[in-house]
């Protein structure tokens, strides 16, 4: 509520108290000439101010309740963001470990190929169409 945020709360508290005092005074202090002469006008004014301030007292209370809920939500969001960052860190570590594992396995396999290259190349010559088929298989569905 912008009006509640714009004006300090104590203004509404003061107006509420003033309207109650004014209303009571208009009934009790009938012996005072000014009050007895303007009793109806004072009562009407005080009742209007009372209604408006009661409305805004409710609004202030509601506003404070929403502020408290927003703060609690902000705390939960901050906690969730921390958890999210932690989960990302954990995932990055797992991914790095797996990538390292793959790289190590690849290196070991390529060493084995190098060691056996002479022997396997001596017993097997690859026909040209085998290379074409393999390359076509690698290209099919590949990004363009």
Binding site for another protein (CB under 8 A): 1-4, 55, 59, 63, 66-67, 70, 73-74, 76-77, 80-81, 83-84, 87-88, 91-92, 94-96, 98-99, 102-103, 105-106, 109-110, 113-114, 116-117, 120-121, 124-128, 130-131, 134-135, 138-139, 142-143
Q: Which two tokens stand for residue 2?
A: 């912008």
Instruction: Measure the CA–CA gap between 22 and 33, rounded to whole angstroms.
Output: 15
Closest CA to 23 of 4, 41, 37: 41
Residue 26's Cβ-count burial label (10 Å; 0-12, 13-18, 19+) is buried
Please name the residues in contact with 52: beta carbons below 8 A apart, sequence gap of 6 or more: 15
Min separation Cβ 66 and another protein, Å: 7
Residue placing its CB nearer to another protein in the complex, 33 or 127: 127
Residue placing its CB nearer to another protein in the complex, 37 or 132: 132
Residue placing its CB nearer to another protein in the complex, 30 or 58: 58
Q: Rg of the chain's alpha carbons, rounded to an integer?
A: 41
Instruction: Measure the CA–CA gap between 104 and 91, rounded to whole angstroms.
Output: 20
Residue placing its CB nearer to another protein in the complex, 30 or 89: 89
Min separation Cβ 47 and another protein, Å: 15
């Amino acid at each position: 509520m912008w009006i509640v945020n714009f004006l300090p709360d104590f203004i509404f508290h003061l107006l509420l108290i003033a309207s109650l005092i004014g209303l009571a005074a208009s009934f009790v202090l009938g012996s005072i000439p000014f009050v007895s002469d303007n009793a109806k006008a004072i009562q009407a004014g005080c009742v209007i101010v009372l209604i408006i301030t009661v409305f805004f007292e409710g609004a202030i209370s509601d506003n404070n309740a929403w502020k408290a809920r927003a703060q609690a939500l902000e705390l939960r969001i901050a906690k969730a963001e921390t958890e999210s960052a932690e989960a990302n860190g954990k995932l990055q570590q797992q991914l790095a470990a797996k990538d390292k594992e793959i790289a190590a396995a690849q290196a070991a396999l390529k060493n084995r190929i190098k060691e056996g290259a002479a022997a396997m190349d001596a017993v097997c010559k690859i026909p040209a169409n085998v290379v074409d088929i393999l390359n076509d298989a690698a290209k099919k569905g590949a990004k363009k």
